[in-house]
Chain A
Amino acid sequence: MADGGEVHEAEIPLDSVSVEDVSRWDRIAKQLRGYWETFLLAWSDWRFKAGLVILSGFVFAGTIGTVLVDAPTYQDGGKWDSPTFVGENPLGTDQFGQDILALLVHATPDMLLMLAGGAVFATGIGAFVGIVSGYKGGRADEVLMTLTDTAMMIPGLPLIIIVGAIWEPTSPILVGILVSINAWAGTARSLRSQVLTIREEEYVEASRIMGVSTGSILRKDITPQLLPLILVNFVMSGRGVIFNSVALYFLGVLPVEGVNWGVMLEKAYTAGAVTSTELFYTVLWPLLTIVLLSWGLIMLSQGLDRVVNVRVRDRHEGEGAE
């Protein structure tokens, strides 16, 4: 602050507000710049690029693609028209005469909603539990970690199936949450161990000594540091959602509304497409779609992982025993 004898008392609050404002903007701008640099670092990794391109492709198919490609009907073609790769039914038709490409595209929005819903749920709870338990330590940590370990131990799929069979959710977001019912535990574990190291950093200690409340420390000092790791966990939970939800629809546990990759698989499988060479394409397309999305998510998370672990790697490369 200035040493001004001419400053009127009334101006001081305004003055200080504006000073704080600038510094807050500075901080946000700095943070954004930091994220942008992190993004550029990740972008320099081909795996991150590949993953982001694939994921954008799916988002494109799920938003604009559903407008471009007509919804599947039972008169798209004959029964089991083989793939021609061009023309009316490029990927062929299924046993009901529905165009497979149209089915795949129109199933995408629901799958993406499921993925997002489940990943937000699992990552949100996991991050909260992991960060609080890692920072607080002591009794809170013990209770939360016992809970986490228990959730980790209960076999997920049977629990999901039972709850799904009784509850029968149809909304894709609820299905996403259902299949990540105990997926948050892994996220909580990995974030906690990261928090354990961050909480001893000097700037966190400084905040503590200055009497900043625990909530603010967690929000402003710790969570931003964890964002890349949280993102990695988000992507991996998304992959888990795809694996599990397709499995549930394939098993026929959940009530079906609209089109769905898992239902396509199940229909083709029960029609005997797996034991017949001519019909195999009807299982192959949904399979490839699932594998492609899952591969894209893994690539994305691996590219991000490099950002998270880059310091560790550098240090060890520097110290390498040569």
Chain B
Amino acid sequence: MNYYVKRAIRSFVTLVLVITVTFGLTRLMPGGPVDYMRAKLRKQNPNMPSEQIDQLVQAYVGVKPDEPLYVQYFNYVTNVLQGDLGESTYYNEPVAQIYAEAIPWTLFVLGTAMLVTFAIAISLGALLAYKEGSRLDSAVSTVAIVMNSIPYYVAAILLIAVFVTNLQMYPLSGRSSLGVTPGFNLPYIMDVLRHATLPMLSVIITGFGVQTLAMRSNSIRVLGEDYIRVAQLRMLPTSRIANQYVARNAILPIYTGFVIQIGFIFGGSIILEDIFRYPGVGYYFFNAITARDYPLMMGGFLIISVAVVIAVTIADLTYGLIDPRASAGGDSSEAY
């Protein structure tokens, strides 16, 4: 099967599965959102007839409890595909609207952090591979492993302790300061960057280690290959060997690791944005949990999953560009 078709099918299957899981959790779990909403509404309005309560439940959660399951499922999927994720019980606003406003901020913080991590890992890993066995190599490798054993939320707490509490260099929370007028002007941009620095740093300093070490060992492996020796015997310029022969082949496995990281990092926004009180997707998702706001919770899960699926799909499709084998041979070439 064609590589691109395969990837597209995989993304589609994932999306369907995510929607189904969300539906299942919303509807089927005992004590889940529907039961919870119905009990809550009944407590608030003891005299309301049950059809009316069902209608309200439907408005909030997006499913009607007394319809057959497949009809409920169909309605749910239709609603989701139309961008209707229900109403938040906590904010009393459409869930889609809340997240639409929050997404760009999360993308900005995590996207930048991920790109920086990737850039550091590739250049540092390649450098270490060339200097294998040197003092720099062992020093950086040790630091990378230690950093990797720190969970990113622990790093966030430590960064706050150092840079906010003791040095007072950075603000603790929020997207931007109150006094600064939003818009395309330098003070505002600087302010936004200042607020985003610590969240980004917590992802970068704890994440670069794995990727750097992976890049390092890949490069060392590639450096031992026959075709590198042939290239050296052909007296090709060193920079060309480094960029075209070593780096290109060493990056491929990292790229896959990078793809796996996407989901992990987006999920991590929940803890990170809670610690920094940064109103992004994860922040609202977390508020939804503490307030037992099920529509907001399920919507958040859907949004984060869709974001990850899109990101992974883009990464997969571009992988075909850097590794021609992927789109040509497919799995049969992987086996041997």
- Point out residues on A near B: beta carbons under 8 Å: 137, 141, 146, 149-150, 152-159, 161-163, 165-167, 186, 193, 196, 200, 239, 243, 246-247, 250-253, 265, 269, 274-277, 280, 283, 287, 290-291, 294-295, 297-299, 302, 312, 315-317, 319-321
**B interface secondary structure, majority:** helix
Nearest A residue to B1 by beta-carbon distance? A142
Choice from A153, A298, A321 contacting B149 with Cβ under 8 Å = A298
A196-B335 in contact (CB<8A): yes
Q: List residues of chain B with CB within 8 A of the CB of A295.
A: 145-146, 149
B77: CB under 8 A from chain A?
no
Nearest A residue to B233 by beta-carbon distance? A321
Interface size of B by Cβ–Cβ distance < 8 Å?
Answer: 65
A275-B149 in contact (CB<8A): no
Residue with the greatest number of chain B CB neighbours at <10 A, chosen from A159, A162, A193, A250: A162
Q: How far is the CB of A280 from chain B (nearest CB, A)?
A: 6
A283 and B157 contact, Cβ closer than 8 Å, known pairs A137-B335, A251-B271, A275-B165: yes
B271-A320 in contact (CB<8A): no
A and B contact pairs by CB, cutoff 8 A, 28 listed: A141-B331, A146-B10, A149-B10, A153-B11, A153-B308, A153-B312, A155-B308, A157-B264, A158-B267, A158-B285, A158-B300, A162-B298, A165-B297, A166-B32, A196-B334, A239-B149, A243-B151, A274-B161, A274-B165, A275-B172, A277-B165, A290-B154, A294-B149, A295-B149, A315-B224, A316-B220, A316-B225, A320-B223
Q: Which 3 A-B pairs have the closest CB atoms?
A: A157-B267, A316-B224, A295-B149
Q: List residues of chain B with CB within 8 A of the CB of A152.
A: 260, 263
A163-B148 in contact (CB<8A): no
A154-B149 in contact (CB<8A): no
Choice from B161, B228, B263, B271 contacting A247 with Cβ under 8 Å = B271
Distance in angstroms between the alpha carbons of A317 and B133 in the assembled complex: 13
Choice from A141, A155, A166 contacting B25 with Cβ under 8 Å = A166
Q: How far is the CB of B279 from chain A (nearest CB, A)?
A: 16
Q: List residues of chain B with CB within 8 A of the CB of A276.
A: 165
Q: How far is the CB of B9 from chain A (nearest CB, A)?
A: 8
Q: How far is the CB of A50 from chain B (nearest CB, A)?
A: 11
Choice from B32, B161, B164, B290 contacting A252 with Cβ under 8 Å = B290
Nearest B residue to A248 by beta-carbon distance? B271
A159 and B160 contact, Cβ closer than 8 Å, known pairs A251-B270, A290-B154: no
Q: List residues of chain B with CB within 8 A of the CB of A154.
A: 14, 17-18, 21, 263, 305, 308
Distance in angstroms between the alpha carbons of A222 and B151 in the assembled complex: 35
B301-A162 in contact (CB<8A): yes
Q: List residues of chain A with CB within 8 A of the CB of B271.
A: 157, 247, 250-251
Nearest A residue to B303 by beta-carbon distance? A158
Q: How far is the CB of B104 from chain A (nearest CB, A)?
A: 18
B228-A321 in contact (CB<8A): yes
A159-B21 in contact (CB<8A): yes
Distance in angstroms between the alpha carbons of A255 and B320 in the assembled complex: 45
B56: CB under 8 A from chain A?
no
Choice from A150, A166, A252, A269 contacting B10 with Cβ under 8 Å = A150
B325: CB under 8 A from chain A?
no
Q: How far is the CB of B265 from chain A (nearest CB, A)?
A: 9
Nearest B residue to A186 by beta-carbon distance? B260
A291-B154 in contact (CB<8A): yes
B267-A319 in contact (CB<8A): no
A161 and B260 contact, Cβ closer than 8 Å, known pairs A250-B153, A295-B146, A319-B224: no
Q: List residues of chain B with CB within 8 A of the CB of A315.
A: 224
A312-B153 in contact (CB<8A): no
A317 and B224 contact, Cβ closer than 8 Å, known pairs A150-B14, A154-B17, A158-B285: yes
